[in-house]
Amino acid sequence: MAYNRLYCCYLVPFGAFLNMNIFVVLALAMLLIIVALRKKVPIGPAILAGGLLIWVAVKPEIPLLGEAAKQMFTMQRTYDLLFALYFVVCLEIELRKSGCLKGMVQYLNHLIHSTKVTMAVMPAFLGLLPSVGGARFSAPIVDNASKGMTITAEQKATINFWFRHIFEFSSPIIPGMILACSIVGVGVGDVIIHLVWVTALMFAIGWMMFVRPMKFEDLRAQNMGEDPDFDLQRNRLDFWLSILPVAAVFLLMVFGGVGAAVSMGVVAAAMVFVLMGTNRAVPIRDIFIGAIEWKLLRDVTCILFFIQLLDVTGVLGQVVESFKAAPLPTPVIIAGLSFLIGVLTGMSQGHVAIVMPIVALLAPAGSLDLVGVALVFGVGGQMITPTHVCLIVSLDYFKADFFKTLIPVIVAETALLGVFSIYSYLTWAS
């Protein structure tokens, strides 16, 4: 009875007021999220509040909340994500507490001769792993590489987040890339050849905006041979012990067809014995109990629930139909739709699954230009949204401020999309 009164007297009128335009609802939801973050509300609950506002405005039916929760807890993706994150934290603890991460950074500085290169290249390399866990794995490497330097937490979070995603346009194992090519019917290799320059552009923009301006004393200014902590033979082994888990996960996922969570779980368990055999043992309790991070679990769960709310309320469908009805050129529609869905879902599979079927309908023979627009603008939306799990992971690890981290990313992403748009306009195949 109480719910019926609430529904009839408040929720329905409020929903009717807002539902005049779905984009008004989305704008208000994003505004609520921003205000909540400004008030220091944790990012997960802030996003959940935005999702509940959308639910109230669009379709305030209690059973839909249960349906969204049911979908979230019965989807394989949920457990793949949560367990992948858990096991990658296990791996990070193993390598950090064993001293392997520190040794690897020292070896890379000895080998590469540039701390800045190490900070940019390692997140990019680990970004080849088709899992959000890579952001959590690369974060301590960036942190270790910057030890003793006057670099803010926000700078480190930005570098980790940005470079982690440069291969979104040129890796054959990124799930979004595979799914997109499968839906549209174009070759993965053809898309990579078409977009590989965007990876180079993203690296260049990140280097010029985030890495090059940093002022600090390069670790190479020290004579590593005189550093009592530097042992070339031991550090070389630390390097290989740090790379080994990444390579093992890569092989299991790509050639073994094993899921991210299982792959990382197997590798994390195996590394316990590898570290024992190399005199770098870490207490098992420290690994598997210490890896439980309740704040990260809460935030990720809130984001996943938010995404399912968008689905059960029909918001995503409304957005698609609104764009399809707009009197705009096809590339503009695909770009705008991909970007918005990327913002709403924060994941490549999200915007690919929704937008690529439309691309397939509009270009039955397959269009590399249209596919490229959808992928680049979709990733662009992912990069500037608080629903992106990699951003959450980076902010959580470095204890960085949300706005101070994201604003530089928005500026960099604007530059990238601007260059891409101009290039696409000038080279579009007729």
State the pLDDT at residue 227: 55
Helices 260-277 and 232-254, axial angle in degrees (round to 10): 150
Among 96-100, 204-208, 342-346, 348-352, the range with the most confident prediction by mean pLDDT is: 204-208
**Tokens 């698609």 label which residue?**
320
Distance CA 330, CA 236 (A): 53
Return the H-helix or E-strand segment holding 7.
Answer: none
Instruction: Give the pLDDT mean for 42-52.
Output: 87
pLDDT at 18 over 50: no
- Of the candidates 199, 208, 203, 211, the one whose C-alpha atom is nearest the C-alpha of residue 114 is 211
Distance CA 43, CA 247 (A): 32
Instruction: Give the pLDDT mean for 333-337.
Output: 88
**pLDDT over 70, % of the chain:** 87
> pTM (2 decimals)?
0.74
Distance CA 259, CA 168 (A): 19
Q: What is the DSSP string of 221-241?
A: GS-GGG-TT--HHHHHHHHHH
Q: At a CB cut-off of 8 Å and minimum separation 6, what does 59 contact? A: 15, 313, 314
Count of beta carbons in the 10 Å neighbourhood of residue 330:
14
State the pLDDT at residue 132: 59
Amino acid at the residue 430: S
Instruction: Give the pLDDT mean for 254-281.
Output: 88
Q: At a CB cut-off of 8 Å and minimum separation 6, what does 2 contact? A: none
List the chain domain ranges. 76-151+214-292
Q: What is the mean pLDDT of the chain?
A: 82
pLDDT at 3 over 80: no
